[in-house]
Amino acid sequence: MDLKVRYFASLRDRMGRSEEKVSIDQGKVTVADLWKKVSNAPLPETILVAVNMEYTDAAHELKSGDEVAFFPPVTGG
Amino acid sequence: MKVFITKDVLDPYKEILDYEKAALPPGKHGGVVSFVGTMRDFNDGQDVRAMNLDYYPGMTEHHIERVCQEAMNEWDVMDCLVAHRVGEMIPTDPIVLVAVWSAHRKDSFDACRYIINYLKESAPFWKCEVTTAGKKHWVEKNSEDPGVAKRVVRKSA
């Protein structure tokens, strides 16, 4: 399964990259699985996640080609 | 409805007039309620000299359009205009404009407050401030509007 992963704001600084391609060779992959692969840590509750530009949660099951974005709480307006 | 993100200096009052002339049928609306957010030169006790606003192109616009549509479904609103600045800015610069037209004032007041609150709560923007001492830091959270019940970001997928 090929995924495009994006990081924004303080999380981009922390990860040291704004985006990357990630391939995972297993049947079922959730957002939480992906986060563990890219960070070696459980997904903190404070991090927001969007799949294909829609908010979702850690249990969301991914499919090949998905764009997954991780970011900190939003501060616009 | 019009939603746009711009790196250019925003002139919110010109945007309201231009949009009203272009999109609203004359004589039908009873008023327009607007919120214009501007950049302060202080935040959390620190003097701020500049700010950089980051966003998620595509998701941000789509998300604001959805919030506007929710407001238009909830209240008797004729039209909405939302503009948001991104990139580098300095204190006094307008950051955000929400303008709502309706036949009667209650609908536009309520819808305008709904849109700005949920934009601040859930639209993907991030502020990075530069203090007068030259230090950069990401703003961790927005202040809340105590007049509005907290809405949890809905799982929409």
Nearest CA to B3 out of B87, B56, B104, B79 is that of B79
Please spell the DSSP secondary structure of A1-29, one letter per residue.
Answer: -EEEEEE-HHHHHHHT-SEEEEE--SS--
Q: Work out the minimum CA distance from B72 to partner chain A, whole angstroms.
A: 20
**Chain B CB contacts of A57 below 8 Å:** 155
Q: Which amino acid is at B85?
A: R
**Chain A CB contacts of B157 below 8 Å:** 51-52, 54-56, 60
**Is the CB of A69 less than 8 angstroms away from the CB of B56?**
yes
ipTM over 0.85? The verdict is yes
Tell me: pLDDT of B150 over 60.
no
Kindly indicate the confidence band of residue B119, based on its pLDDT and cuts at 50, 70 and 90. Answer: very high
Percent of chain B surpassing pLDDT 70: 92
**Is the CB of B122 less than 8 angstroms away from the CB of A74?**
yes
**Chain A CB contacts of B84 below 8 Å:** 76-77
Domains and CATH numbers, chain A: 2-71 (3.10.20.30)
Side-chain-side CA neighbours of B133 within 13 Å: the count stands at 6
Percent of chain B surpassing pLDDT 90: 85
Nearest CA to A76 out of A4, A20, A8 is that of A8
Tell me: pLDDT of A47 over 50.
yes
